[in-house]
Amino acid sequence: MKEYKRIDVTKDIWIIDFGNDNFDMFIRASSPLGAYVYSFKKGRLHAYQRRSYAGASKTKYYNFFD
Q: Is the pLDDT of residue 65 over 70?
A: no
Q: Which amino acid is at 1?
A: M
Contact 64, 43 (CB under 8 A): no
Q: Which amino acid is at 9?
A: V
Torsion on CA atoms 8, 32, 48, 7, rounded to nearest 10 = 10
Confidence band for 8, pLDDT divided at 50, 70 and 90:
very high
Please report whether residue 28 resides in a domain.
yes
Distance CA 50, CA 58 (A): 8
Return the DSSP state at 3. Answer: -
Please report whether residue 66 resides in a domain.
no
Residues 10-48 pLDDT 10s: 999 999 999 999 999 999 988 777 899 999 998 899 999
Say what the pLDDT of residue 53 is: 85
Say what the pLDDT of residue 63 is: 83
Task: Give me the number of domains the chain comprises.
Answer: 1
Structural domain span for residue 56: 5-61
